[in-house]
Amino acid sequence: MDLFRIERFGAECLDEEDVKAKEMHLHKLIEQRRKKRKSNISEEDETKTLKKKKKKKLADDTEECKQEIVVKEKKLKKKKKKQSDDEEDESEVEKQKLEKKKKSKTKVDKSIENALENSEDESSILREDSTDKRSKKKENSLEGVEIEEINEQIEEENEEKHNNDDLQQEPEKEHSFPILGKQVHRSKGPVKRNLPRWLAEPKIISSRTDTHNEHKIEELDFLSCNTIKNLERMGVKHLFPVQSHVVPTVMDMFKNKKPCFPCRDICVQSPTGSGKTLSYVMPVIEAMSKNIIRDLQCLVVLPTKDLAAQVKVTFDQCVVGTNLKVGLVAGVKSFAKEQESIITARPTGFHTLIDILVCSPGRLVDHLKLTPGFSLAHLKYMVIDEADRLLSDSYANWLALSMKSVQADSSHKIFPLTPAKFSKPFQHVQKFLFSATLTENPEKIATLELFNPILFLSQSSRKKKDDDQDVEGEEQPPEDQEVNLKTYVVPDQLKERMMVVEAHQKPLALLYLMKNEDHQCALCFTNSIESTHRLFLLLQRFKDIKVAEFSSKLNETQRKGILRDFRQQKVNLLIATDSMSRGMDIRNVDLVVNYDAPNNAKTYVHRVGRTARGGEEGEAVTILQGKEVFHFKKMHQSLDTARPIKKIRINEQAFEEFEDDYELALRDLKTKVQSEKKKI
């Protein structure tokens, strides 16, 4: 051991304490190794026992499976034996039947042979008598028929056997392929559109604007005294159905508004001349009249500069007596003057000079890109008038840029972090959509990002009887009726008629309406600028009719002058394109003429909406060719109106008094058109 210790631990480790400690350490290591060996041996034994148990289980399972297979084979053999016995019995029965039939056949054959022998004997005896020959032929033919009938019966019986065999084999095939359930054919009902709740359940408004639906201004408690005075100064004595529904709901939203919960958006579809402009002007002014700090908080977007100028005038009249200022950005003035009117540069930075901005989409985009300091960061209200046109593809860019400018304030750097940076909550822009033909295209509506919107939908308050009489009906539609935004409404006070003439008689039909029917202020629509200009040149020959044209070809001063003369009735007939069909409010228009047939129901609604405005009566006449009548009537049936369109019947002699002057006017038209082409 001493030698072992010296070799193991060295010569220096000869102290007793060190030697004992090291010996104890070696003993521990030896014991640990022994334990490991024992544990390994026990684990190996356990694995061996587990393997033996598994082998026994597999052997037992295989024996049980073999026994089950043997039992199944025995059962199958028994079934096969039974089937074979049954088949043998059936075959014996069939053999017996066949034997019986063969016996019957042999009997028939014998009877036939006997009959033939007898017939031969008789023929040898009675060869001279022709009558007997004929009788023999008949008998032979009858016997042949009987033989054929017997053969047919035998064939039918054989076919029945084959069919019975097939029927006996078919159920076996059916059982080989199990069918789960039963195929029940149910008749499917009509498919209904799956619309959002705000589109499927709108608030219905009557389209009538007569005294039955009046709400006098003096009795209203949700408008301030200043607003009531301004409305009385404008000549407004009562609210129309659209105004009496929209304005109170918006005012209630403003009063009951929660600090962190935005107001709901508003969508309105109402016929032309029903007072949509005032329905958004009044609540916006009421909400902003108490503002102290001047910021651009309301943006009103309209498709044309003429309509924007008209709405700006309405705002100016309603803003009297308040601290609010309204700006116009629509291309009426130069770009530099518009910049000076909306924003100024001060030592502290840029400051806005307006609270409400009325604009066209193109000019708005120009100012957002080119005017320094102009933004919509403080915007609270966005009004989109004629929304279906502004959401079309040609005006698609303005909405994205304006929403980007609204959210630009949150994209700035927020350092250093101070409580003031977090004091301003999230600013939601409440949107107001107005149109006589509001779109229901989900792709276009989604770009607006509407918040829990409310839809106000005008429907005709008259129903149609079988005798084509108009009767007053309820405002609410039936429960089963599906709400459709494409069923446009025309004013109830509008009288609609049509004239069917040939193409060369259309100018004569227009002259007939102006001269034989006493119309002082008529508006005529065409489909193009060229046809507008040519019709204007043609009718200048008739001096008793004061004619003017209105199109985008004219400059701003010319258009303003023509509208002023038309409002003052210095012009009796104004020929215009569809640029004037939207939103223009011209009083005293008693006749609208569709010189060219409208392409769709939307265009027709906006054209005829220039008359019968504000509860007044008006008339619309459409001049058609024979091939256009069917399509026009089909389009008119899609409108929400109960009045059938009437036809003006004209005699052939009605145009004779205009023919001479008409021929001279055509000659003058040719010379004028040629001279204009030379100038170009």
The Cα 312–Cα 230 span in angstroms is: 15
Residues 6+ apart with CB under 8 A from 581: 525, 603, 606, 607, 609, 610
Please tell me whether residue 132 adopts helix, strand or coil conformation: helix
| CB count in 10 Å sphere of residue 317 | 14
Kind and range of the H or E run holding 430: strand 430-435
CB 390 within 8 A of CB 357: no
pLDDT digits (tens, 9 = 90+) for 478-512: 444 555 666 788 888 899 999 999 999 999 999 99
Integer distance in angstroms from the first to the last C-alpha of the chain?
131
CB 490 within 8 A of CB 237: no
> Which CATH architecture is the domain 494-677 placed in?
3-Layer(aba) Sandwich (3.40)
Q: Decide the pairing of beta strands 462-464 and 470-472.
A: antiparallel
- Taking CA atoms, 383 is separated from 98, 205, 326, 393, in Å, by 98, 20, 14, 19
pLDDT digits (tens, 9 = 90+) for 543-595: 889 999 998 888 888 998 999 999 999 999 999 999 888 878 888 899 999 99
Q: How many residues does the chain have?
A: 680
Which CATH class, in words, describes the domain spanning 197-409+427-459?
alpha beta
Both tokens assigned to 263: 């107001």
Backbone angles phi, psi at 327, to 5 degrees: -115, 155
What is the rounded radius of gyration, in angstroms, for the C-alpha atoms of the chain? 50
The Cα 166–Cα 160 span in angstroms is: 10
The Cα 488–Cα 583 span in angstroms is: 16
- Taking CA atoms, 125 is separated from 113, 134, 159, 398, in Å, by 19, 15, 45, 121
- Taking CA atoms, 673 is separated from 337, 535, 595, 677, in Å, by 38, 11, 20, 6
Both tokens assigned to 92: 């014996």
Kind and range of the H or E run holding 68: helix 16-125
The Cα 522–Cα 590 span in angstroms is: 6
Report pLDDT for 88.
Answer: 73
CB 461 within 8 A of CB 241: no
Both tokens assigned to 490: 């025309």
The Cα 301–Cα 307 span in angstroms is: 10
Kind and range of the H or E run holding 78: helix 16-125
Q: Which residue has the tokens 């017939």?
A: 119
The Cα 558–Cα 550 span in angstroms is: 9
Residue ranges per domain, the chain? 197-409+427-459, 494-677
Q: Are 197-409+427-459 and 494-677 the same fold in CATH?
A: yes
Report pLDDT for 13.
Answer: 47
Please tell me whether residue 215 adopts helix, strand or coil conformation: strand
Amino acid at 679: K
- Any idea what DSSP says for residue 467? T
Q: Starting from the edge strand earliest in sequence, which strands make up the sheet with 381-385, in order?
A: 203-206, 454-459, 266-269, 430-435, 381-385, 298-301, 356-359, 326-329
Q: Decide the pairing of beta strands 349-352 and 343-346.
A: antiparallel
Q: Decide the pairing of beta strands 298-301 and 356-359.
A: parallel
The Cα 373–Cα 353 span in angstroms is: 12
The torsion of the CA quartet 284, 288, 290, 292, rounded to 10 degrees, works out to -170
Residues 6+ apart with CB under 8 A from 322: 226, 285, 289
Q: Which residue has the tokens 């630009």?
A: 408
- Taking CA atoms, 203 is separated from 206, 401, 667, in Å, by 10, 32, 57
335-359: buried (b, 16+ CB within 10 Å) or exposed (e) per residue?
eeebbebbbeeeeeeeebebbbbbb
Backbone angles phi, psi at 336, to 5 degrees: -65, -40
| Under-70 pLDDT residues of the chain | 1-15, 105, 107-109, 111-189, 191-193, 209-214, 393, 396, 409-427, 461-486, 642, 680
| Closest-CA residue to 284 (of 227, 237, 240) | 227
CB 305 within 8 A of CB 332: yes
CB 613 within 8 A of CB 270: no
Both tokens assigned to 322: 């308040």
Report pLDDT for 409.
Answer: 55
Cis peptide before 241, with omega less than 30 degrees from 0? Answer: no
Please tell me whether residue 204 adopts helix, strand or coil conformation: strand
Amino acid at 34: R
Backbone angles phi, psi at 620, to 5 degrees: -130, 130
Report pLDDT for 113.
Answer: 67
Please tell me whether residue 624 adopts helix, strand or coil conformation: strand
| CB count in 10 Å sphere of residue 605 | 20
Both tokens assigned to 54: 């598994």
The torsion of the CA quartet 572, 575, 576, 580, rounded to 10 degrees, works out to 20
